[in-house]
A = this chain, B = another copy of it.
Amino acid sequence: MQGLMMNTPLTITEIMTFADKVYGSEEIVSVTADNPRHKYTYKDAFTRVRRLANVLQGLGAKEGDTIGTLAWNDHRHLELYYAISCSGMICHTVNPRLFEEQLEYIINHAEDRFIFTDVAFVSLLEGMQDKFSKVKGFIIICDESSMPNTSLNNTHCYETLIEGKKELFEWPTLDENTACSLCYTSGTTGNPKGVLYSHRSTVLHCYASSLPDSFCLSARDTVMPIVPMFHVNGWGLVYSSLMVGSKVVLPGPKMGDGETLCKLINEEQVSLSAAVPTVWLALLEYLEKSGDSIDSLNRIAVGGAACPLSIMTQMEELHDVHVHHAWGMTEMSPLGTFNTLKKGMEQLPKEKLNEIRIKTGRPIFGVNLKIEGPEGESMPWDGVSSGSLKARGPWVISQYYKQEKSATDDNGWFETGDVATIDSDGNMSITDRTKDVIKSGGEWISSIELENCAVDHPLVAEAAVIGVPHPKWTERPLLLAVLKDGAKLSKFELLAWFEDKVAKWCIPAECIFVSTLPHTATGKLSKKTLRDEYKCFQWDN
């Protein structure tokens, strides 16, 4: 029997109309290329969003069309998010930091009809426009006075298009499963893959990510999403902050600049922010140098990479800012886990507490996680057993855009590609990438753990550990180490270093000193290169 409640759809349009009505006077502040401090209200924003929807219609864009954006975090990018998705079109946020070939690939793969671009990326696009198969025009996100001279075809000025457009727009009634936005993962191998979010997945992600044990967003917050809006919808904050009526501060192109961030925090009284660890390092460095404080800020979320404990400690001890580790993926909208304490944990001894806090946190309700062992068996949540991390839930991908193959396993779980442990409190910790983990005698050995152990040695500059095929053990770990300039160390000495630090069977079976290690374009260790190079390595035993 079916329930008898209304089946009103979960759409971004509902977020917009609700925010407009209930929080209309709340502020959105942004730094743009042409204005160091643009301020207006939600109501102003949504009036312009309706005008922008008329612009899109006027350009000939239709429901289901993909519209690309290359832009930093500012109010106009926010307007685009809402106008495009609520018109039934797909907002394709393009990461302008990608290589040209990747940009070309994703803009063509997504079939972008129009591209809205910041002035900063115009020259990048000029050199590529002949390769775009579907793009009918470019809209430069600025006012008339900032319009650059450009060789881009069919170019418009954002503010000129909006000016004088009707303030009314009849938003289409959308099914909640309608696609709203598209974001490509920049995988280390192969072409980028597109993740096509729906209105439903986005709204549910908003609810879950705003809960007290996630971002804890309220109408009393001032939220500054530093994480770029082209990274998984700025972790959803561009939707969720408006859903709950937070003041929003968007740092524009200045997201890596400690001084600007500090100024914004103080002048706009930012209470919550979210970014990758390097941003917080930059801010901490600036604060140390300048002696400034950041009193209004009471918590930050850190994701995108593991957050060093030192950042947590400095933020908390020097600035009274609580640091929450979070974990997510483009394929997960992105939020999967968030680190907050359970009842009573605050009383734990500091070391014990830190052990919990450097984990990536518990799944938020809606996300189901499991870890599977080598044979597909479910591994226990004991904080020690590791397994291939899989996820399931209404904001987790089922299929990449235009790929026939499902993105899930036979049971409907998405394989994250990570190896992780989960403790009995539900706190997850990523120990390795699935492709890097060493499968030895039915057990998994974390390559990252061994690398971290190796570089802890005072004479080691860099280290890589890879699994190399072994006749008896399937694989055994091979350590490749770069010594510091002038350092002298034998392989036996280095291997002995591991003895009281990792389980005996995990100790690398062999060590080779090399002068350099190969890296990818983004600076990460290229283990694929190493595995290719050493795949025929002969073990002594």
Contact = CB atoms under 8 A, between A and B. Distances in A.
Contacts of A210: 211-212
Contacts of A198: 2-5
Interface string A469-486: 000000000000000000
A312 interface: no
Contact of A392 (B6, B243, B343, B397): B6
Nearest to A208: B207
A178 B5 CA distance: 10
A25 to B, nearest CB: 7
Interface string A67-90: 000000000000000000000001
A508 interface: no
Most buried by B among A221, A244, A394: A394
B216 A212 contact: yes
Interface string A340-370: 1111000000000000000000110110100
B3 A393 contact: no
Contact of A3 (B25, B180, B222, B425): B180
Given A211-B244, A245-B342, A200 B5 contact: yes
A22 B362 contact: yes
A201 B23 contact: no
Contacts of A102: none
B244 A365 contact: yes
Given A90-B1, A368-B18, A396-B6, A340 B412 contact: no
Interface stretch (A141-149, A253-261, A398-406, A533-541): A398-406
Nearest to A24: B424
SS class of chain A's interface: helix, strand, loop or mixed?
Answer: loop
A197 interface: yes
Nearest to A199: B3
A214 to B, nearest CB: 10
Interface stretch (A7-15, A50-58, A157-165, A452-460): A7-15
A527 to B, nearest CB: 30
A286 interface: no
A412 B3 contact: no
A177 interface: yes
Contacts of A60: none
B398 A4 contact: yes
A424 B20 CA distance: 11
Interface in A177-193: 177-180
Contacts of A95: none
A195 interface: yes
Interface residues of A, number: 79
A3 B394 contact: no
A178 B3 contact: yes
A373 interface: no
Nearest to A196: B4
Contacts of A199: 3
Given A6-B394, A396-B6, A397-B6, A212 B217 contact: yes
A138 interface: no
Interface in A376-395: 381, 392-395
Contact of A177 (B3, B21, B180, B247): B3
A219 interface: yes
Contact of A8 (B17, B22, B394): B394
Contacts of A23: 342, 426
Nearest to A217: B212
Contacts of A393: 6, 8
Contacts of A2: 175, 177-179, 198
A402 to B, nearest CB: 9
Given A3-B201, A8-B392, 20 more contacts: A2-B178, A3-B196, A3-B197, A3-B199, A4-B399, A4-B400, A5-B198, A5-B394, A6-B394, A6-B396, A14-B368, A15-B365, A24-B424, A204-B207, A207-B365, A211-B212, A211-B244, A213-B218, A213-B244, A220-B343
